[in-house]
Amino acid sequence: MEKNLNVIIEKCPQNHKCPAVNVCPVEALIQEGFSAPRVDLDKCIRCGKCSNFCPKKALVLE
């Protein structure tokens, strides 16, 4: 079964620039303002880097 990256919006405080955006090697994370980032699943290679990086565990690869 293919994994998907889910953004758990309730876990993201949405009050800062998402540092995980710069961790993604394929620019699949998009943040507008301080909102929780969105994932472009067409670009995402499911590498898990953002998931491991987010201190709030708001990015979940499952």
Which chain residues interact with ligand SF4 by CB under 6 A?
Answer: 5, 23-24, 26, 28-29, 39, 44-51, 61
DSSP state of 15: -
Q: Min. distance of Cβ 34 from ligand SF4 in angstroms?
A: 18
Asked whether the beta carbons of 28 and 43 are under 8 A apart, the reply is: yes
In the complex with ligand SF4, the residue whose CB is nearer, 34 or 52, is 52
Q: Min. distance of Cβ 60 from ligand SF4 in angstroms?
A: 10
- The Cα 21–Cα 12 span in angstroms is 13
Q: Min. distance of Cβ 27 from ligand SF4 in angstroms?
A: 8
